[in-house]
Amino acid sequence: MRFYEAVFRVRPGFPGGSEELMGSVKAPGDPFDALGDSNRRAIIELLVSGGRSVREIAEAMPISRPAVSRHLRLLREAGLVTEEPVGRCRIYRLHDAGVEEARAYLTSIWTDAANRFRLVAENTEPE
């Protein structure tokens, strides 16, 4: 087993498992797929300060309103934002529960990898 495999072991069928790393499995609504686009990350950063309409988001972005709407739909499907109808427009906000789930997943993965790194480092003879 190579050092990398020992530290960053991936398991088929587990989020982040080998078939997902190879790109053959992509679940719709995956928050990490949604965050893979720089425009969607920029939208998330805008929403950190509070709710905004599509128009307000589009004015702050270098993309069209229809493109912003598509990005917001993907972020909503991924559970990262919510929409609230207010009059004739919709206000988009970060979905705290969705963001927390993504953070918790990353924390668990990082903790697992860090523990494996420690074990490998403690049990490896210097060359």
The pLDDT tens digits of the residues spanning 3-49 come to 434 444 444 444 444 434 434 344 457 888 899 999 999 999 999 99
Number of DSSP helices (H) and strands (E) in the chain, helices first: 7, 3
Asked whether 69 and 93 are in contact (CB, 8 A), the reply is no
**Measured CA angle at 111 (ends 100, 38), to 5 deg:** 50
pLDDT at 28: 53
pLDDT tens string 46-74: 999 999 999 999 999 999 999 999 999 99
Query: Structural domain boundaries of the chain?
Result: 28-119
Report which residue type is found at 3: F
Q: How far apart are the first and last CA of the chain?
A: 16
Return the pLDDT at 27: 46
Average pLDDT value for residue range 95-118: 87
Q: Is the pLDDT of residue 93 over 90?
A: yes
Phi-psi region of 17 (alpha: psi -120 to 50; beta: other; left: phi over 0): beta
Poorest-pLDDT segment among 22-26, 93-97, 110-114: 22-26
**Which CATH number is 28-119 given?**
1.10.10.10
Q: Which two tokens stand for residue 59?
A: 């004015």
List CB contacts of 58: < 8 A, sequence separation 6 or more.
64, 65, 68
